[in-house]
Amino acid sequence: MIKTLCTLLMAMITLGSYGQSKTESIIPAPLSVQHMDGNFIFNANTSFSIRVKDAAPVQFFRDYLRAHTQIHVLKMMPKEKNATQIIFTDAETANMAEEGYELTIAPKTITVRAKKAGLFYAIQTLIQLFPGQNATSAVLPCTKIVDRPRFGYRGLMLDVSRHFFTVDEIKGLLDLMAAYKLNRFHWHLTDDQGWRIEIKSFPKLTSVGAWRVPRKDFYGADAPQPGELATDGGFYTQEQVKDVVRYAAARNIQVLPEIDVPGHFMAAIAAYPELSVTKNPDTKVNPGSSFAKWFATGGFEMYVDNTLNPTDEKVYQFLDQVFEEVAALFPYEYIHIGGDECYKGFWEKDAGVKDFMQKKGIKDMHGLQVYFTKRISEIVRSKHKKAIGWDEIDDGALGDGVAIMNRFGEKGALDQAKRKVNLVMAPGGNGLYFDYAQSASEMEPINHGGNDPVWKTYAYGVDYAKMAPEDKSYIQGVQACIWTEGMSSMRKVQYMLLPRMLALAEIGWTELSNKDHGRFADQAMPEHLARFDRLGLNYRIPTAFNYTDTTLVGQEFKFTLKPPIPGSKIFYTLNNRFPSEADHEYTEPITVRLLENKRTVLKTIVVAPSGKRSVVTRTVMLNPAMKKAVSASRPNSGLAYRMVGPSSLKIDTGITDMALEKFRSVKNASLTLEGLIKIAEDGYYEFSTSTKATEISIDGLRLFDSEKPYPRFDKADPVYLEKGYHKFKIVHSSFTGKSEPIIWSRYGDKKQLLESVNVYH
């Protein structure tokens, strides 16, 4: 559902929130807010006084009022003596931050003092202060707001290669960004799954590279089959690109295009196979099928060559022309050159590449990518632009204004800033990859993995405590990324984006001293989610708890809940069944008392006024009796084992440690380990393993069974153990020679490997 910014702002006025919007509900939170007595009446008698050199933002606001409300501000002078007016002025703003503003609401006059960008953002703040009244008038609380952004770069990336989105859908996303003061749209235009921008010099980039065989589900899709037609895709003409850039500029958003090189180039290679070292004419645009093997220890192996040939001058001539046309379309000073996940295996096998490296004195494959990156940076600079790329382009000696978009986080950022490299922070491990799940619940829709709830995004501080103060100035800002492998529609994008985008807006704009998660989560976010609900945006409904799956131990439990959206309701069960509107409605705190060795499960669901539902939360409550320790006089280290080989006639017994080194050559067997485990102190303990076909038991109680359905949403319970020795048993029914690590922890503590020093016989 695509809506223009005007429609979004209209909804904020006419639909509003429950009761008068408070300044505490402004997102992102302003630099300073001073409350004053009285109200300003905004109605048909309100006039505009325009005293700015560039009145485009004011005209934008006037056009919105004329088209979408009954408050038609047509005259620039008051219609009557006691009429209210809004003064837009850029006087005394020479020392004001480019995007800063002052907004003063007095009983008779609203004064907006700002330059062009700041003027636009003052209007966004003004709109957020409109209460939930009809569109003929509005009562605004008198207040003075002084505001400016913490960072100049506040970005959002959309990957349109994995799935194509129309121009109208892109504009709808830009509207949403503008309403929350985000000012950089990173447009990921090319990748293995589609080339999305018209390059007139190379028409096959779009006639071939923009299309692939259709697949319903991206993850695990089948590869293109002989005879299948490539009918899924699309691309943006250069006129459409110009239209998007103009639309963004009118909303103070600059567009950063990305042409990802030298890897992630399969769509272009499908069109022009000669650009790769393998020159495979059968290369196809990838439809979401697997074409690489990723190793648990790090690294990957490509089955299909998706990388440019860095030794071929024709490749650089090709890229020179591509960047020539791209640079002409985008006014922004930077072009993103990608550089991530460049597989070098096909380079290593190519005799021509080896000969080139020897002639150039290039020692290794990393050095070859460094050579390529420098050549591309020179091409970009020749177009009067600067290059920015992912961490992998960093060779430790970047120059000529090349910037890094950091996706690896603190370790790289500390070194990069120390070397005076300009940085945009977009680390996936800090809640900024919006293709990750928004909770650990199995009910979350298909996603890349991970678990990045909105509070994790909000908690990211952008710079780091270990970073020297003088180095922090090299952090230009922050960005979140929407990789769309699992997002084939804008409704799915909205679900993964909202409400996390609200947190992104605040970490990019709001000073650290003004960040307050309590205010954000309890006061501000509910009002904005209510607006999204009325707009029909497909946002994720927050759950009744910050977590979706947890275990609590004790005798008595009390839960006090707050509906996360005005008008929403919470329903719950206490019998482990999924709740619905037919179950208990939460109206007062829930109290649960448990007898010893009893267990119960609280499950909750939130239903918004629109009928949308949250995922279900699961809270296990336990009151287990303590398992008493067994007597053990000076036991020996290690566990007794019994192994039954592929043939049941082959049985081996003995003693082993937890490393299981002596069984490395075993291919398929049943391995049972028995003995004692030493518990250092009384407490609740958890045990698990990622290995399939494994059972873990203590004192005869089975704690973990990987063959039993124990997903994240329905995991095993902790056990209450007395200090001392306890009987311990592990059964690997399908052992394959690996170390089979067992994970354990005292409940609530950090998980760790079970070591040999902890087990005895």
Q: Does residue 633 fall inside a structural domain?
A: no
Q: Is 15 contained in some domain?
A: no
Domain count, the chain: 4
CB 258 within 8 A of CB 163: no
Which carries the bigger pLDDT value, residue 76 or residue 31? 31
**At 603, which CATH number?**
2.60.40
Exposure string for 408-430, b = 16+ CB within 10 A, e = fewer: bbbebbeebbeeebbbbbbbbeb
Residue the block writes with tokens 């606001």: 61
Residues 385 and 499 in one domain: yes
Coil vs helix vs strand at 287 = coil
The values of phi and psi at residue 641, to 5°, are -125, 155
- 166 and 278: one domain? yes
The yes-or-no verdict on residue 130 having pLDDT over 80 is no
Same domain, 483 and 613: no
Residue 90 is predicted with a pLDDT of 94
What mean pLDDT is predicted for residues 444-461? Answer: 92
Q: What is the pLDDT of residues 598-630, one digit of tens each?
A: 999 999 999 999 899 999 999 999 999 999 999
d(CA 750, CA 612): 36
Marked catalytic residue, from 264, 336, 448, 726 = 264
88 close to 48: Cβ distance less than 8 angstroms: yes
Tokens of 169: 């859908």
pLDDT surpasses 70 at 21? no
Residues 124, 178 contacting (CB under 8 angstroms): yes
Domain identity same for 312 and 168: yes
d(CA 752, CA 534): 46
Write the single-letter amino acid at 393. I
Collapse the DSSP code of 144 into the 3-class scheme (helix H, G, I; strand E, B; otherwise coil) and give the result. strand
Q: What are phi and psi of 600, to 5 degrees?
A: -145, 160
The verdict on whether 217 is a catalytic residue reads: no
Strands 669-679 and 724-735: antiparallel
Active site includes 740? Answer: no
Name the band, by pLDDT with cuts 50, 70 and 90, for residue 672: very high
Q: At 405, which CATH number?
A: 3.20.20.80
Residue 543 lies in a domain: no
3-state secondary structure 243-304: HHHHHHHCCCCEEEEEEEECCCCHHHHHHCHHHCCCCCCCCCCCCCECCEEECCCCCEEECC
* CATH number reported for the structural domain that contains residue 659 in this entry: 3.90.182.10
Average pLDDT of 546-575?
A: 93
- At 447, list the tokens: 């996603």
Domain boundary among 147, 174, 196: 147
What's the pLDDT band for 463 if we cut at 50, 70, 90? Answer: confident
Query: 49 has which bridge partners?
Result: 87
Which is nearest to 307 in space by CA: 325, 292, 328? Answer: 292
- Domain boundary among the residues 147, 174, 190 is at 147
Q: 65 and 136 in one domain? A: yes
| Residue 711 belongs to a domain | yes
Locus of tokens 């000529």: 400
Given this model, what pLDDT does residue 133 score? 47
**277 DSSP assignment:** S
What are the E-state strand segments in 95-205?
101-105, 109-114, 138-147, 153-159, 184-188, 190-191, 194-195
- The verdict on 246 and 158 lying in the same domain is yes
pLDDT of residue 712: 43
| The predicted structure's pLDDT at residue 11 | 38
On whether residue 267 sits in a domain, the answer given is yes
Structure tokens at 654: 């003995």
The CA distance from 705 to 688, in Å, is 8
pLDDT confidence band for 15 (50 / 70 / 90): very low
Looking at the structure, tell me whether residues 488 and 562 fall in a common domain: no
Say if 619 falls within a structural domain: yes
| Catalytic residue status for 348 | no
Evaluate whether 478 touches 507 at the Cβ level (below 8 Å).
yes
- Span 150-165, mean pLDDT? 98
- Residue 97 within any structural domain of the chain: yes
- Kindly report the average pLDDT of the chain as a whole number: 90
Cβ-contact 426, 479 below 8 angstroms? yes
**pLDDT tens per residue, range 369-400:** 999 999 999 999 999 999 999 999 998 888 77
Distance, in Å, from the CA atom of 201 to the CA atom of 371, rounded to the nearest integer, reads: 25
* Phi, psi of 88, deg, nearest 5: -105, 115
For 56, 133, 195, 689, the CA distances from 8, given in Å and listed in that order, are 19, 15, 31, 48
* Pair (234, 363) in one structural domain: yes
Does 696 lie in the same domain as 585?
A: no
- Which of the residues 24, 243, 320, 341 is marked catalytic? 341
Burial label for 671, CB within 10 Å (0-12, 13-18, 19+), is buried
Domain of residue 557, residue span: 549-623
Domain shared by 436 and 567, yes or no: no
Asked whether residue 118 falls in the same domain as residue 200, the answer is: no
Whether 188 maps to a domain, the answer reads yes
For the chain, the farthest-separated pair of C-alpha atoms sits apart, in whole angstroms, at 104
Domain ends where: 123, 147, 171?
Answer: 147
Residues 108 and 180 reside in one and the same domain = no
Among the listed residues 99, 147, 159, 191, the single catalytic one is 191
Q: What is the mean pLDDT of residues 181-193?
A: 98
